[in-house]
Structure 1
Amino acid sequence: MLIDGFGRKVDYLRVSVTERCNFRCQYCMPEKPFSWVPKENLLSYEDLFKFIKVSIDEGIKKVRITGGEPLLREGLDIFIKMVFDYKNDIDLALTTNGFLLPRVAKKLKDAGLKRINISLDTLDHATAAKMAQKDVLETVLEGIQAADDAGLKIKINCVPVKGINDKDVLEVLEFCRKKGYVVRFIEFMENYHAKDSIKGLNSDELKAIISSKYPDFEMVPRDTSSPAQYYRFEDGYEFGIIEPHKDDFCSACNRIRLTAEGYLIPCLYFEDAMSIKDAVQNNRIDEAVDILKKVLQNKPEKNKWSVKDDNEVSTRAFYQTGG
């Protein structure tokens, strides 16, 4: 069992396989040039798997593949199958912007992927193009349908931003409700890599928008393994809100993150990290486990988004960690 310095059980590993992305979303990396990280800088799938395997042995029960945009890295289905074949009851998931899903969704499901989170910030073509700085909506919707057809369990992630897609909250909610997908609205997490001027909607503002049409939804008792607070309509449909600005958001954090270049990151907010690259590449697996446990002991108690200061932003590049 993996325990951090504050007694929290850590059983969830998020693995970024690339920092590259084919979108330039306003809230993530709008100004970053399109680039190619040299392959030799990245851990191979085989080396990533060495660490995932020992992490599972140490108590990890959920593995999520992230990016950047993870589908940009070739052979992802082979990597997923490596993890699935090692432990087929692991909760194996993927986060993606959906753009490349139409051609790979079935391959991912056949490889052992169980669940998928897909970003959908709007159902308006012009707004989607403004948000991602690329004409993306039609292909993303095709990707969502391909994942559905493949039998993957789908969640939708939506980041509402004032003046861009805040008017689309109810439409995204209705789309997901009709399709039977859980939607999670994510409060914008202030970071230095986002567009300077953007402001997100907080949970109270989101609930006010939703209650304008559905006044009778109720809060669901919190599942501490989930980052979202869920709410239920009278017909049983549930949606979630991820609230990193709440003071208790980190109280049950069960996550650790591994980047494509081999850095273990204890907290999404802070820059702190330690590398396992040399250890796994040279098959010093016990050393990699020692580094993991040291990182967990240094895991901060909480982020600083709850600090009431407009200048309190994270320097973390989310495209390196997958959020």
Structure 2
Amino acid sequence: MLVDGFGRTIDYMRISVTERCNFRCAYCMPNTPMNLGDENEDVPLESVLNFIKVAIIQGVKKIRITGGEPLLRSKIVPFIAQICDFAPQIDIALTTNAFLLAPLAKPLKDAGLKRINISLDSLQKDRILCISKRDGLEKILNGIEVAHQVGLKIKLNMVPLKGINTDEILSILEYGMKRGIMVRFIEYMENSHAKEGIMGLKLAEILANIQTKYPTRLFEKEVIGPATLFKIPQQEIKANLGVELNRDYIFGIIAPHNDDFCKTCNRVRLSSEGKLIPCLYHNNAIDIKEAMLRGDTEEILSRLKLCIENKPEKNDWDTNAISQRAFYQTGG
């Protein structure tokens, strides 16, 4: 079992398998060249697996595969299958922009993937192009539908940005309602790699927008996730949307600026560069790449424990409002 200095059990790993991405989202990496390296520059997936096996043996129960865009890795399906073969009980998920998802959804499910988080910042073609610099709405929506059909559990993530897509908060919420898919709204996380001048909405503003049409009530803070969850009564959805659900609809808001965001943090990250990151909003990291490449399990474990020892109690939004980290390297 891995426990940090504040008594939190660390049983969740976010693994970035590449910094390459086929989108250039305004809140992430808008000024990065499209030809960002090739797969030969990524850490080999068999070396990443060396780390994952050690983490699982030490009690990690949940793994999320991220990027960049993880579906750019040509062997991502057998990689996930290898993780599941090693630990069939593992809760394994993947975060994607869904541009490449449709043909991979069933192979990923068959390999053992249980859940998938998909970015959906707009339902309008021109806005997706504006936000991501990619004409991708049709492929995104097709990827969502196919993943839903094959039985992957889906969460949709939206980053509301002032003057760009905040008028679509209700539209995207209702898109999720109609399909029984959870929508999570993410406060824009200020970082030095984002487009200059963009601004997001905070939790209270997002809630106020939703409450113009739907009453909400606090449900709970996710036990193994960063979101605060809210409920909308099913009868309100039927009255407003004409859709009958068999239970209340639950949506989430991820609010890293809130004081209680870090209290139950149970995760550390492995970046696409092979560095262990104890906190997304601090600059400290521990290089573990060479140990992974060698398959040196003792060194991997030593560095993993050191990372957890260095995990801070909370992020430093209060003193440093803009993160210097590249989220496309750490997986956000």
| Structure 2 length-normalised TM | 0.93
- Structure 1 counterpart of 2:231, which letter? R
- Structure 2 counterpart of 1:73, which letter? R
Identify the match of residue 315 of structure 2 among 279, 303, 314.
303
Give 1:144 shift. Answer: 0.3
Identify the match of residue 261 of structure 1 among 269, 273, 287.
273
Identify the match of residue 250 of structure 1 among 256, 262, 266.
262
Q: Does 1:320 align with 2:329?
A: yes
Q: How does 1:74-89 map to 2 (within 5 A)?
A: 74-89=74-89
Q: What does the per-residue CA deviation read over 1:61-103, in whole Å, with 9 as the maximum and x for residues that have no partner?
A: 0011000000011110010000000111100100000000011
3-state SS in 2 of match to 1:131: helix
Q: Does 1:277 align with 2:289?
A: yes
Give 1:261 shift. Answer: 2.4
Q: Take 1:74 and 1:39, find their aligned partners in 2: how far apart are those partners?
A: 8
Q: How does 1:77-226 map to 2 (within 5 A)?
A: 77-215=77-215, 217-226=216-225
Q: Take 1:183 and 1:155, find their aligned partners in 2: how far apart are those partners?
A: 6
Q: Which residue of 2 aligns with 1:37?
A: 37
Q: Take 1:226 and 1:303, find their aligned partners in 2: how far apart are those partners?
A: 16
Give 1:41 shift. Answer: 4.3
- Structure 2 counterpart of 1:85, which letter? D
Q: Take 2:295 and 2:141, find their aligned partners in 1: how far apart are those partners?
A: 42
| Percent of residue pairs bearing the same amino acid type | 53
Q: Which residue of 2 aligns with 1:24?
A: 24
Give 1:30 shift. Answer: 0.6
3-state SS in 1 of match to 2:93: strand
3-state SS in 2 of match to 1:220: strand
Consecutive unaligned residues in structure 2, runs of 5 or more: 235-247
Root-mean-square deviation (Å): 1.2
- Structure 2 counterpart of 1:316, which letter? R
Q: Take 2:56 and 2:272, find their aligned partners in 1: how far apart are those partners?
A: 18
Q: Does 1:58 align with 2:58?
A: yes
Q: Take 1:283 and 1:162, find their aligned partners in 2: how far apart are those partners?
A: 46
Q: Take 2:135 and 2:179, find their aligned partners in 1: how far apart are those partners?
A: 23
Give 1:35 shift. Answer: 3.0
- Structure 2 counterpart of 1:139, which letter? K
- Contact between 1:41 and 1:261, CA under 8 Å: does it hold in 2? no
Greater displacement, 92-101 / 132-141:
132-141
Give 1:39 shift. Answer: 4.9
Greater displacement, 203-212 / 276-285:
276-285
> How many pairs were matched up?
319
Q: Take 1:241 and 1:276, find their aligned partners in 2: how far apart are those partners?
A: 33
Q: Take 1:127 and 1:246, find their aligned partners in 2: how far apart are those partners?
A: 29
Give 1:38 shift. Answer: 5.6
Give 1:129 shift. Answer: 1.1
- Structure 1 counterpart of 2:139, which letter? T
3-state SS in 1 of match to 2:145: helix
- Structure 2 counterpart of 1:281, which letter? L
Q: What does the per-residue CA deviation read over 1:279-311, in whole Å, with 9 as the maximum and x for residues that have no partner?
A: 122232111101000011111111122x2x7x7
- Structure 1 counterpart of 2:23, which letter? F
- Structure 2 counterpart of 1:71, which letter? L
Give 1:44 shift. Answer: 1.2
Q: Take 1:22 and 1:222, find their aligned partners in 2: how far apart are those partners?
A: 33
Q: Take 1:269 and 1:223, find their aligned partners in 2: how far apart are those partners?
A: 20
- Contact between 2:39 and 2:73, CA under 8 Å: does it hold in 1? no
Q: Take 1:162 and 1:142, find their aligned partners in 2: how far apart are those partners?
A: 27
Q: Take 2:62 and 2:70, find their aligned partners in 1: how far apart are those partners?
A: 17
Q: Which residue of 2 aligns with 1:68?
A: 68
Q: Take 1:115 and 1:89, find their aligned partners in 2: how far apart are those partners?
A: 14
Q: Take 1:191 and 1:150, find their aligned partners in 2: how far apart are those partners?
A: 36
| Structure 1 length-normalised TM | 0.96
Q: What does the per-residue CA deviation read over 1:177-231, in whole Å, with 9 as the maximum and x for residues that have no partner?
A: 001000000000000000111000000000000000012x110132332200000
3-state SS in 2 of match to 1:104: helix
- Contact between 2:54 and 2:301, CA under 8 Å: does it hold in 1? yes
Q: What does the per-residue CA deviation read over 1:8-59, in whole Å, with 9 as the maximum and x for residues that have no partner?
A: 1110011111001101111000111123436554321111111101100001
- Structure 1 counterpart of 2:67, which letter? G
Give 1:170 shift. Answer: 0.2
